[in-house]
Structure 1
């Protein structure tokens, strides 16, 4: 699905979009990976190509390995020494892939422009459709914007602003930050398994867990051993936790009660629509 920029003014609509190619259920390449291939074609060097597209050398090699595996045949080959000298080259398949992608991308942008001119509110609706079509095993999918990005010695800390004003923080690797193209103001979503969410009473207790999302219990569904508890953070956003029935009884959880969802930053997965 495509990333779409909101109209800057009522009279002037400007849309940005991208497409991706798939191999089975896996993404073979989107704008970032195709851009990397094109940079390798132009420079003949993975080091130079990675630098030109803003990737680390390791992230570039990871992307190349993934593309080679998904394509089922080499897209990038390297050679050292010899009569023709060393260097990195694209195979005919990779060259054709770049041209195919560029052609589809041109037609896709024409489609977005036509749709934007014909449909009021198209930009926001198209972005929402992309999120609704996402499939994942994680029960909780929270959409927001990156409000803060803090670089660390090994990992980065990403703060995501959620609808309603609350924030959620995730710890990700440098490579993930680069691969996802994360920056302040960019759209992203947080994925959190229900079993990673802890619940507590709405108090001012101090915890080591970075994320404490306050809300109101919307429902409590008990099973043989565990209970599924859904917390409304605001009118549009909910988060679900799986806890034991004993814990639910101890906390006295019931519809309408205030509660806090507690999540470690290391348990939050960040994703974007390519």
Structure 2
């Protein structure tokens, strides 16, 4: 098994302690099927794909590949990166149990379930409703004026796209944001509008919105809105909604629009 960048895979581990994302990945390795993994984990097929998209975004590595043909038809299997992520997850679970025993949280020899939140560790097991979680690097923080409490943070994705998040200067200062700082960008899928076309050039620092360009990977139809998953350059994914019925088709170019203030910046550490 090849050696992989632990810092990037660690982001996936740090954000999957208290939900079923790692369980989905593990069950895909056991069953060779995403649909079967979803059934075994007790979640929907769409939620299983969401788990894979999020883990892929956070790790920056391809974790699952689709297989075609064979007696059972197509399926899925873990990549070497996916297998190593599970090895790291098991090692972290063992270390976590050891720490809890050391500080008296468990009796000697006791067990802690993998999905048990750890309230004493400052939210390490925190879950979030934000579907979109994207690893980025800070390009620059731009303040309109010395008296303005708002700052526009320009960010670059792994695929080279640029985003703008508008936050307070105090928040940027507390996070110690500067050029080259690695961060996570989070955004609610319900705050993202998907439409056909290409992204316009990035505008002025205080622009009210920002966007990402990609290709449609999946569409889930709804009564009033259709959920659209975009595949971005660099292997990441971004989720948003289009009015039903959506005219887009898988493979089409599309743009995700959102308010710059809707992008939350988090430190991976």
- TM-score w.r.t. structure 2 length? 0.51
Contact 2:130–2:189 under 8 Å retained in 1: yes
Distance 2:200 2:138 in 1: 27
User: In structure 2, what is the equivalent of residue 129 of structure 1?
Assistant: 13
Partner of 2:173: 178
Q: Does residue 23 of structure 2 align to residue 139 of structure 1?
A: no
| Offset at residue 212 of structure 1 (A) | 2.3
Question: For 2:177 and 2:132, how far apart are their aligned partners in 1?
Answer: 20
CA distance in 1, matches of 2:7, 2:229: 30
8 Å contact from structure 2 (residues 134, 186) kept in 1 = yes
Q: 1:193 aligns with which of 188, 192, 198?
A: 188
The CA deviation string for residues 32-79 of structure 1, in whole angstroms up to 9 with x for no partner, is xxxxxxxxxxxxxxxxxxxxxxxxxxxxxxxxxxxxxxxxxxxxxxxx
Q: Are 2:160 and 1:165 aligned?
A: yes
Q: Which runs of 5+ in 1 are unaligned?
A: 1-118
Are 1:217 and 2:101 counterparts? Answer: no
2:249 aligned counterpart, secondary structure: coil
User: Residue 235 of structure 2 aligns with which residue?
Assistant: 236
User: Which structure has the greater CA radius of gyration?
Assistant: 1
Task: Classify the secondary structure of the residue corresponding to 2:195.
Answer: strand
- Give the C-alpha shift of residue 196 in structure 1: 1.0
- In the alignment, what sits opposite 1:261? 256
Asked whether the equivalents of residues 142 and 191 of structure 1 are also in contact (C-alpha less than 8 Å), the reply is yes
Distance change (3 Å), C-alpha of 1:167 and 1:221? same
Q: CA deviation at 1:272?
A: 0.9
Q: How many residues end up aligned between the 2 structures?
A: 152
The correspondence of residues 1-12 of structure 1 with structure 2, limited to 5 A, is: none
Deviations 1:87-114 (A, max 9, x none): xxxxxxxxxxxxxxxxxxxxxxxxxxxx
RMSD value, Cα: 2.4
Give distance in 2, aligned partners of 1:162 and 1:205. Answer: 16
For structure 2, the 5+ residue unaligned runs are 18-125
Q: 1:131 to 1:228 in 2, by over 3 A?
A: same
Preserved CA contact (<8 Å) 1:150 1:156: yes
Checking the alignment, whether the CA contact within 8 Å between 2:199 and 2:255 is kept in structure 1 is no
State the secondary structure of the residue aligned to 1:195: helix
Task: Give the Å deviation of 1:187.
Answer: 1.1
Deviations 1:2-34, CA, capped at 9 Å, x for gaps: xxxxxxxxxxxxxxxxxxxxxxxxxxxxxxxxx
1:79 alignment partner in structure 2:
none
CA distance in 1, matches of 2:5, 2:170: 35
Aligned residue runs from structure 1 range 69-148, under 5 A: 121-133=5-17, 135-148=127-140
The secondary structure found in structure 2 opposite 1:137 is coil
Question: Do the aligned residues in 1 keep the contact of 2:134 with 2:236 (CA within 8 Å)?
Answer: yes
- The 3 A distance-change label for structure 1 pair 203 and 235 is closer
